[in-house]
Amino acid sequence: MRLDVKLPTESRLAPGAVDRSSPLPLYAQIARRLVAEISLSAAETRFCGDEEVAARFDVSRMTARQAIKQLVDEGFLRRVKGIGTFVAAGKIEERSLASFFDGSASGGRPMTARVLTMGNEPRADVPPDPALGPAVTYIERLRFVGVVPIVLDHRYLPRRLARRLKRSDAEKHSLLDCLKETVTLDRVEMQVEAVGADAASARHLRILPGEPALVRHLRYVARDGAVVMSGRSIYRGDVVRYSFSVPL
C-alpha cells in the first residue's frame, strides 16, 4: 500500500496571472507556477513552448523564454532542438527511511547537501528535544536536487555522539547512516504535516512565505530507549511527494 501526501496548490492569483507589482521578476513567477504543473506530469511528456507560455501569461516571448530556460537549468525540463520541450522528471519521491543520496528518488538527477550551521549552541526558534540531554550538537543542512533546494533540515544529536561527526560527513552522507555506525537503532517516531512555509525556510528554499511546504518531524530511538537524534525537515511542496508503505 502506498500513501502520497499531497499539498494544496491554491493561489491568490487567477490561472495564468502574474503579479506585476511583485519584486519577483515575471519570468521567475511564471517558472514557479509551471513547476506545479511539471510535478504532476510524467517524465518525457511534451511541455508547452515559449509562444504558448507568453500567450497564457500575457508576457513577451523573451520573458517566457527566460522562464523556460530557468526550468531547464534547474533540471525540470529539457529542450530537444527542432522537436520541442519535455518534462525531465516529476516530483522527488521521498520515502520514510530511504537515504536522500539514493538517486532513484530524484530520477537520476544529482543530489547534494550543504551544511549551513553546525555547532553546540541550540537554536531558540528550533528548540532541542529535552530527551537528548543538556549537551547537544545542532546541524542545519540544505539539500539540493541539481541546483534546486528542496529540503531544509534541522537536527539535534547528543554531543557525545556527534564528536567525530565532521561537516563533510553531513554533506556527503545520510545523518542516519552516520548514526548507525555508533548506536543500534530501535525505531523512528515520525509526524508529517502540510504547512505554509515560514519566512526563514522560504528564503532557503527559494519560495515565498506561506507557500505549501511539507514538514516531517523525526525522533530516533536506540535499542536501549535513549533518544539519539531528533529534529524536523521542511520540504518544498511543489517538488516533493512523500511516500511510505504500511504492512497489513
Q: Give yes or no for residue 93 having a pLDDT over 80.
A: no
Q: Which of these, 188, 204, 211, lies nearest to 154 by C-alpha position? A: 204
pLDDT band at 3 (very low <50, low <70, confident <90, very high): very low
Q: Are 49 and 78 in contact (CB under 8 A)?
A: no
Map out the domains of the chain with their CATH numbers. Answer: 2-87 (1.10.10.10), 92-245 (3.40.1410.10)
Scanning the structure block, which residue is given the C-alpha cell 517566457? 64
Scanning the structure block, which residue is given the C-alpha cell 495564468? 16
What is the full DSSP assignment across 11-60?
Answer: -SSPTT---TTSSS-HHHHHHHHHHHHHHTS-TT-EE--HHHHHHHHT--
Alpha-carbon gap, residue 153 to 118, rounded angstroms: 12
Scanning the structure block, which residue is given the C-alpha cell 552522507? 173
Beta bridge partners of 52: none
- The C-alpha cell of 24 is what? 519577483
Residue 147: what pLDDT? 77
Task: Report the pLDDT averaged over residues 55-59.
Answer: 91
- State phi, psi for 166 to the nearest 5 degrees: -100, 160
The bridge status of strand 77-80 relative to strand 2-5 is unpaired
pLDDT band at 193 (very low <50, low <70, confident <90, very high): very high
Residue 41: what pLDDT? 73
**Summary mean pLDDT of the chain:** 84
The whole-model pTM stands at: 0.73
pLDDT band at 97 (very low <50, low <70, confident <90, very high): low
Task: Report the pLDDT averaged over residues 53-61.
Answer: 91
Q: Are 216 and 190 in contact (CB under 8 A)?
A: yes
Q: Give yes or no for residue 138 having a pLDDT over 50.
A: yes
Q: Are 1 and 40 in contact (CB under 8 A)?
A: no
pLDDT band at 241 (very low <50, low <70, confident <90, very high): confident
Q: Which of these, 120, 109, 194, lies nearest to 143 by C-alpha position? A: 109
Element holding 76 (H helix, E strand): none
Helix 50-57 to helix 26-39 angle, to the nearest 10 degrees? 110
Going along the chain, which residue ranges are E strands?
A: 2-5, 46-47, 77-80, 84-87, 92-95, 111-119, 136-145, 148-158, 185-196, 212-222, 227-236, 240-245
Task: Report the pLDDT averaged over residues 97-102.
Answer: 57
